[in-house]
Amino acid sequence: MRQEKSRKMKLNKEQQEKLAKVLLDESVICSSRGDHDDARALMMRSVEISFQDQIRKMIDGDIKLIHETMEKQHSSNLGMKGLARMIMHILANNKEFQDRFDFEMVFEE
């Protein structure tokens, strides 16, 4: 028997945008029915897809982009602030980013 390796399909830009929009729409539906954990997870995945190029640059060491994103976490624009915080959350949970920057999350009570 021939063994086939599973391949990840690479989505084109249009497909990525559609997927991100569907995930975001679904997160709103989940939130409206009180399922906030799923809503948050879907929203994070939508951001991860929508901003994958920028996230990849930061993982690869674009210090200027990391700094800009960190600064945007304090923006008076609530949408910008939330987006920047989601991106930083995605980075903080990325093993490759953690290893590159010797990053460790510490929670204090």
* Inter-residue contact 59 to 100 (CB < 8 Å): yes
Backbone angles phi, psi at 51, to 5 degrees: -115, 30
With CA atoms as reference, report the closest residue to 68 among 56, 58, 53, 78.
58
Burial class (CB in 10 A: 0-12, 13-18, 19+), 82: middle
Beta-carbon-side half-sphere exposure of residue 45 (alpha carbons within 13 Å)? 17
Q: What pLDDT tens digit does each residue of the chain (109 aa) get?
A: 455 555 666 878 899 899 999 999 999 999 999 999 999 999 999 999 999 999 999 999 999 999 999 999 999 999 999 999 999 999 999 999 988 887 666 666 6
Q: Is the pTM of this model over 0.75?
A: yes
